[in-house]
Every structure is written in C-alpha cells, then in structure tokens.
Amino acid sequence: MLQNVTILGATGTIGLNTLDVISRHPERYRVFALTAHSRVSELAELCRRYQPRYAVMLDTDAAERLRQALRDTDTQVLEGIEALEQVASHVDVNVVMAAIVGAAGLKPAIAAAHAGKRILLANKETLVMAGSLFMQAVEKGGATLLPIDSEHNAIFQVMPARRLSALQDGGVKRILLTASGGPFRKASVDELKAVTPAQALNHPNWVMGPKITIDSATLMNKGLEVIEAHWLFNAPAEKIEVVVHPQSVIHSMVEYVDGSVLAQMGNPDMRTPIAYGLGYPERLDAGVSALDLFQVGRLDFEAPDTARFPCLRLAFDALAQGGTAPAILNAANEVAVDAFLKGGIGFQDIPQLIESVMNSMHIEPVNSIAQLIGVDALARSQAMQWRPSC
C-alpha cells in the first residue's frame, strides 16, 4: 500500500535524508506535506520536485512568499503552528517524520500521536520537554513510535520486543549510549576557552544542523538523549550509561543480565535509521555504503569527562529533578547555543548559562502542554538576560 508521508522540518538534514530514502522507493511512499520555518527557496524547490498536497511555513511572511513561488502548482500553502498540527494529524497521513529542531516541534508531534500515526521521532525536545505527556498521547492514540536518533534507533533494534518492561523483566541490565565526543574530545580547559563557532561546527563524523552540532560539541546532545532514553525505554537514570566512542561505528548497545552486550553498527549515515523507521518491521535499501571493518581498523571507548563538559551532568541533574526541569534545561540550552553561534557568549559560557537558569527557576510537576510552553518562555527570558561574569 502506498503510504503518505508528512515531513516536519523538510529543509533540515533529517528532512532531506528522509526525502532521499523516499526517492529510492517511489512505489511505497508519497510525500503528502513538507514544512519549514522560513527557508522559502529551499522548500519551493522541494515542493516542485515532490509535489506535496500541502506545504507549511511557520513564519507568516515566508508563507506568503512561498505562495507566490508555488502559484502555478497544485500545492496548497499553509502557515503557523496550527497548520503544522493539521498536516501531522491529517486523516490521509500514514507516517510523520518529526524533525523540527527545538520546542516548535512539540505540538505537531503530540498531534500526530493523538491521531495514531506512525511517528518517526527525530525531534529531541518532544521527549525532553514533555516525555510523560507525549508517551501518554502515543499510548492513548494508538500511535507507533520509532526513534530516529541513531543512538535510540540502535537501542530499539537490539532491545526485546517488550521494550517498556525490558529493564524490569526482559533481562536488560543497562543501556549504553555511545557518543562521538565531538570535535573537542581531547581539548584542554584552556583550549575550550578559545573555541569559536566555526570550530564547534566542524564535527568529525556527522553532518548535522548547527544547533545539534553545537550540542554534540558540548555533550548536551548526549544529555538530551539520556532523557529521551528514559522515556522511550522506561529506563531509570542509573540504568543509562554514556560511553565515548570516537569512531561512531557502534551507535549504541544494550547489556543483558547474562553478560551479553548487543550492539548495532554501521557507517555514520542518518539514512540508516530513517529507512529502518520507514520500513519497520521490514528493511529497506537506504543508499548507505557497507561498513568496512578493515578500514575502520579499531574501536575505542572511554568515559565522558563531565568536568570539561558539564552539560552532560546538567542533563542527568534535570532528569533526576523531573517535572519541568528538563524543559528548563532545554530552553536555556537553545538560547545559549544561539548566543554562542552569534558570538554573544563563549563556548564555556554555555553550561554556566544553563545552570544559572536551572538554579533560578522553581521546578513543578508537569500537567499540560500549555504549562510547558509557559515554562519554556520564562526560561528563555531568563536565559536571554544572563551575562558572563568577568
């Protein structure tokens, strides 16, 4: 059966890789809707190529420019967060790739869950901000949730079928999340003080968007993934361990009580987890080259250094505090990364800003999306007022 796919965040790295995989299987998938924030020319080009029924721009002015660019096509241009929710939950949609970076991806992902869609989740903030609410929506809506982060996708592949009880009665002892260590794995404290945005954007293994690349450099990306793993696999923090693996060949591992450790391996290419999510439980050709173990040569592992990279510790702290703490962590981090990319703060100021905001806000139990959006806004406001100490 031909499946209709909505791609939330079509112009980003995940979105483009999803379109690449879909292009390899035109007999199985059709693009239903494509969305972007403000990249008009890029989205217009994609719409002309894939001819979706809908195109959505979050930014109103960008939506009007896109309408003009596509006025000779059959694609209907919509705008705003409500339109994102509409194309994520539309009755004709089978699969939703949730790849919008940041808190903007939360509402459409929740809408897809309530509508019972197959959700390919590449938006970290959905689980970090609203893990309990999102997982409840998935269960209530009868949605199928497939993680697309390479690490969580790897864990999903080697976990028992009953993943939510695997650490209780499925023989699983620990989840081992691998991390590349980023471009500054061996940098000294003094060297970290002088890091520039250009250096931080030069990831040794992965091609990603700027925000997630900076998160990888600070190890916040791994911290967010720890929180995600907690919700995806019903895993307490003490059962999740981060292992630095510079080659990024082993994407994560699961340790069992009998001493077995199962790992998923492959070249660092996001088309592998995307194809797995699209085809599950079948396997699809993703266009990814075969892993050459002789070329890899060796696999190294080391413990993360939370003294040089305190963002990982902050994420574990937020998970331990629970409630709105992860949402505060996420909002402060987004502001800090943006400020660093714009030259407003230094690389080592990022964790200082985040910790300051976390310490200044009251932690509450999570009860609604509206509450989380308010907490997110307040945390961002406080983060934008933060200034480095001299």
What CATH number corresponds to the domain at position 110?
A: 3.40.50.720
Per-residue CA distances from 316 to 88, 214, 252, 319, 320 (Å): 31, 19, 18, 5, 6
Task: Specify if 281 maps to a domain.
Answer: no
- 92 annotated as a binding-site residue: no
Q: Which pLDDT value is given to residue 124?
A: 86
Lowest mean pLDDT among 205-209, 295-299, 372-376: 205-209
- Contacts of residue 161, defined as CB under 8 A and 6 or more positions apart, other chains included, come to none
- 216 annotated as a binding-site residue: yes
- 175 annotated as a binding-site residue: no
Q: Is the pLDDT of residue 1 over 90?
A: no
- 85 annotated as a binding-site residue: no
Whether residue 118 sits in one domain with residue 178: no
Q: Which pLDDT value is given to residue 385?
A: 95
Domain span holding position 338 = 310-385
Task: Specify if 278 maps to a domain.
Answer: no
Task: Specify if 84 maps to a domain.
Answer: yes
- 14 annotated as a binding-site residue: yes
- The residue from 125, 147, 169 where one domain ends is 147
Q: Is the pLDDT of residue 112 over 70?
A: yes
Name the domain count of the chain: 3
The answer to whether 95 and 118 have CB atoms below 8 angstroms apart is yes
- If you count DSSP H runs as helices and E runs as strands, how many of each does the chain have, helices first? 18, 11
Which H/E stretch holds residue 136? Answer: helix 124-141
Instruction: Give the mean pLDDT of 65-82.
Output: 97
- The residue from 115, 147, 179 where one domain ends is 147
Whether residue 137 sits in one domain with residue 7: yes
The answer to whether 320 and 349 have CB atoms below 8 angstroms apart is no
Q: Is the pLDDT of residue 203 over 90?
A: no
pLDDT tens-digit series, residues 307-351:
999 999 999 999 999 999 999 999 999 999 999 999 999 999 999
User: What is the rounded average pLDDT for all residues in the chain?
Assistant: 94
Task: Specify if 280 maps to a domain.
Answer: no
Task: Specify if 60 maps to a domain.
Answer: yes
- Contacts of residue 39, defined as CB under 8 A and 6 or more positions apart, other chains included, come to 11, 62
- Contacts of residue 101, defined as CB under 8 A and 6 or more positions apart, other chains included, come to 9, 12, 123, 125, 209, 211, 212
pLDDT tens-digit series, residues 241-258:
999 999 999 999 999 999
- 140 annotated as a binding-site residue: no
- The residue from 147, 166, 194 where one domain ends is 147
- 23 annotated as a binding-site residue: no
- 203 annotated as a binding-site residue: yes
Task: Specify if 168 maps to a domain.
Answer: yes
- 381 annotated as a binding-site residue: no
**pTM of this prediction?**
0.93
d(CA 289, CA 269): 9
Concatenated DSSP letters for 203-271?
A: -SS----HHHHHHHHHTHHHHHHHHHHHHHTT--GGGEEEEE-TT--EEEEEEETTS-EEEEE--S-TH
- 255 annotated as a binding-site residue: no
Instruction: Give the mean pLDDT of 10-22.
Output: 96
- 149 annotated as a binding-site residue: yes
Instruction: Give the mean pLDDT of 131-152.
Output: 96
Whether residue 141 sits in one domain with residue 39: yes
Task: Specify if 204 maps to a domain.
Answer: yes
The 8-class DSSP code of residue 202 comes to -
pLDDT tens-digit series, residues 210-223:
888 999 999 999 99
Whether residue 226 sits in one domain with residue 128: no
Task: Specify if 273 maps to a domain.
Answer: no
